[in-house]
C-alpha cells in the first residue's frame, strides 16, 4: 500500500500541472459547458490537449494514443479537475466509441476512426436510447434493412449528447425485423452528415440543449460501417456500456472535486457558523475522499489484473446522488438569495448545477439499473426480471 505518487507519477503530475498553467485559456477555466460558444472553444482546446499528447493517454501508440499506464490517466483527470480545465470535447469518442472499435473493429476501421477521435477532428455521439427503449435497451426498434452493399436505416434515437455537432454516431439497430430482445440487433457507425439524418435539440430543465433527438429516414449506411457481425449488436453494445461506466469514475470524481472545492470556498467566504450546515459540508468532503479512494482501489486492481473491478457502477451511483445533495446544500448556504437567478449571481451558478444534477441519476444508466447491476452481477442476487 502506497498512496503517494511514485517518482514517475510525481514527474508526470508536475508536467501536466505546468502544461495547464501555461496553456489553459482563462475563459475556459471553470467553464460549465453546455453553451454554444463552448463548442468552438472546445474543439480548439481539445486539439491542444491532443497535441500535448494528453488525449487517449492509455490508448496504444499505433492508434495515436500515449501508451501510458492507467495511473497517468488518473493523474491527468485529477490535474484537469484541480485546474478546472474542461475535458476533451470527444468524451463519447474517447470513452465509448474508441474502446468499442478497439475491441470489435477491423484493422481498417481502427485506422480510419481512432486517431481522428483523439485529435478532435471528428466528434462522436451515441444512438442507443429510443422513445420506447430506455432502461430496457433491448427493446430498440430502429431498423436496418440489408440492401446491396448497405443498410437502409429508419427510426428515432433520443438523449443523444453532442449529436448536433457530431460527425459520427454509434448506432444500435434491429436488423432482423422478426427478432425479439437481445437477438437480431446490429451495431454500426453512421456518418451524421448522411442524407436522411435529422437532429433536433431537446431543451432540458436548465434551459440549455445538451441532448438531441436523431431521426433516421432511409439513411444508407455502407456495410463496412458495421461493428461486429450482423445480429451480434447486443454484445458490441455491452462493450460500449462497460466502458461508459468503467472509465467514468475518475472523470466524475474530478467534477465532484471541483464542486466540493467551490462548496468549501462558499462556506468560508460566508463564514459559515450553522452547526448543521457545517456538518453537511464536512460530510460532502468525506464522501468525496471516499469516492476518490475507491477509484484508487479500482485503479490498482485494473493495473494489476487488467480487468476493471465491479466498483464502477457503485461509484457512478454514489456520485450522482452526492452531486444532487451537495448542489442543494450550496443553495441552502446562500440562503435567501438562492432564488436569485440573474447573470452573474452566485446563486445562478449553483442553481444551474443543481438543476443539471437531476439528470445525473438518469443518464448513463439510471440509479435503478445500476442497483440492479450491483445486486445481480456484483452480489449474485437472483435476477429481478
Partner 1 sequence: MRFAFTPEQDELRRQARSLLAGPEPSWQELAELGWLGVSVPEEHGGAGLGFVEEAVLLEELGRSLYSGPYFATVGLALPVLPPEQQARVAAGEVRWSAALDGWLVPNLDAVERVATEDGAAPAEGELVESVDESRPLGRLAPGPREPLPGKLDCARAYAALAAEAVGVAQKALDLSVDYAKTRQQFGRPIGVYQAVSHRIADMYVETELARSLAYWAAWCVAEGDQQAPVAAAAAKSYASEAAVAACERAIQVHGGIGFTWEHELHRYYKRAQWIESFGGYPAVQRAEIARALLD
Contacts 24+ apart (CB under 8 A), 107-116: 108/224, 109/189, 109/224, 109/227, 110/63, 111/63, 113/168, 113/189, 114/56, 114/59, 114/63, 114/64, 114/65, 115/63, 115/64
Interface with partner 1, residue 178, by CB under 8 A: no
**Which residue from 296, 325, 331, 355 is in contact with partner 1, where contact means CB under 8 A?**
296
Nearer residue to partner 1 within complex by CB, 235 or 264: 264
Residue 308 bridge partners (DSSP): none
Q: What are the b/e assignments for 96-129, b being 16+ CB within 10 Å?
A: bbbbbbbebbeeebbebbbbbbbbbebbbbbbbb
Residues 3-22 vs partner 1: string with x where CB under 8 A?
A: xxxx--x-------------
**Which residue from 61, 229, 278, 341 is in contact with partner 1, where contact means CB under 8 A?**
278
Nearer residue to partner 1 within complex by CB, 289 or 341: 289
Residues 6+ apart with CB under 8 A from 4: none
Residues 233-252 vs partner 1: string with x where CB under 8 A?
A: --------------------
Active-site residue set: 244
Interface with partner 1, residue 368, by CB under 8 A: yes
Residue (of 145, 283, 170) closest to 227 by Cα position: 170
What is the C-alpha separation between 367 and 245, in angstroms, rounded?
Answer: 12
Contact positions with partner 1 (CB under 8 A) in 57-116 = 71, 74
Interface with partner 1, residue 304, by CB under 8 A: yes
Residues 6+ apart with CB under 8 A from 228: 104, 186, 187, 235, 236
Contact positions with partner 1 (CB under 8 A) in 306-335 = 311, 314, 317-318
**Which residue from 15, 47, 145, 285 is in contact with partner 1, where contact means CB under 8 A?**
285
Interface with partner 1, residue 120, by CB under 8 A: no
**Which residue from 68, 166, 214, 267 is in contact with partner 1, where contact means CB under 8 A?**
267
Which residues sit at the interface with partner 1, rule CB under 8 A? 1-6, 9, 71, 74, 264, 267-268, 272, 275, 278-279, 281-283, 285-287, 289-291, 293-294, 296-297, 299-301, 304, 311, 314, 317-318, 368, 370-372, 374-376, 378-384
Amino acid at each position: 500500500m502506497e498512496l503517494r505518487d511514485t517518482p514517475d507519477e510525481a514527474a508526470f503530475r508536475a508536467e501536466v500541472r505546468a502544461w495547464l498553467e501555461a496553456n489553459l485559456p482563462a475563459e475556459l477555466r471553470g467553464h460549465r459547458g453546455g453553451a454554444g460558444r463552448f463548442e468552438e472553444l472546445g474543439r480548439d482546446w481539445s486539439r491542444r490537449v491532443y497535441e500535448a499528447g494528453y488525449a487517449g493517454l492509455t490508448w496504444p501508440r499505433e492508434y495515436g494514443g500515449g501508451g501510458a499506464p492507467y495511473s497517468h490517466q488518473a493523474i491527468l483527470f485529477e490535474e484537469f479537475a484541480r485546474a478546472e480545465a474542461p475535458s476533451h470535447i470527444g468524451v463519447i469518442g474517447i470513452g465509448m466509441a474508441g474502446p468499442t472499435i478497439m475491441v470489435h473493429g477491423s484493422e481498417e476501421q481502427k485506422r480510419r476512426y481512432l486517431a481522428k477521435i483523439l485529435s478532435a477532428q471528428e466528434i462522436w455521439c451515441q444512438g442507443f436510447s429510443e422513445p420506447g427503449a430506455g432502461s430496457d435497451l433491448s427493446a430498440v426498434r430502429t431498423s436496418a434493412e440489408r440492401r446491396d452493399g448497405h443498410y437502409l436505416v429508419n427510426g428515432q434515437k433520443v438523449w443523444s449528447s453532442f449529436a448536433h455537432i457530431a460527425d459520427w454516431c454509434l448506432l444500435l439497430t434491429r436488423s432482423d425485423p422478426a427478432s425479439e430482445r437481445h437477438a437480431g440487433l446490429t451495431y454500426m457507425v453512421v456518418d451524421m452528415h448522411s442524407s436522411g439524418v435529422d437532429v433536433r435539440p431537446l431543451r432540458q430543465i436548465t434551459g440549455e440543449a445538451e441532448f438531441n433527438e436523431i431521426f433516421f429516414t432511409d439513411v444508407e449506411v455502407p456495410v463496412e460501417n458495421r461493428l461486429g457481425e450482423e445480429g451480434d449488436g447486443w454484445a458490441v453494445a455491452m462493450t460500449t456500456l462497460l466502458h461508459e461506466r468503467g472509465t467514468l469514475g475518475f472523470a466524475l470524481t474530478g467534477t465532484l472535486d471541483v464542486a466540493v472545492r467551490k462548496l468549501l470556498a462558499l462556506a468560508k467566504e460566508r463564514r459559515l457558523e450553522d452547526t448543521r450546515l457545517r456538518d453537511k459540508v464536512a460530510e460532502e468532503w468525506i464522501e468525496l475522499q471516499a469516492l476518490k479512494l475507491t477509484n484508487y482501489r479500482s485503479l490498482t486492481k485494473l493495473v494489476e489484473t487488467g480487468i476493471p473491478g465491479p466498483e464502477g457502477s457503485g461509484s457512478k451511483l454514489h456520485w450522482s446522488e452526492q452531486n444532487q445533495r451537495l448542489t442543494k446544500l450550496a443553495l441552502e448556504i446562500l440562503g435567501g438569495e438562492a432564488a436569485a437567478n440573474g447573470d452573474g449571481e452566485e446563486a445562478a451558478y449553483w442553481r444551474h448545477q443543481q438543476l443539471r444534477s437531476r439528470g445525473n441519476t438518469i443518464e448513463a444508466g439510471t440509479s435503478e439499473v445500476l442497483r440492479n447491476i450491483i445486486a445481480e452481477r456484483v452480489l449474485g442476487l437472483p435476477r429481478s426480471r
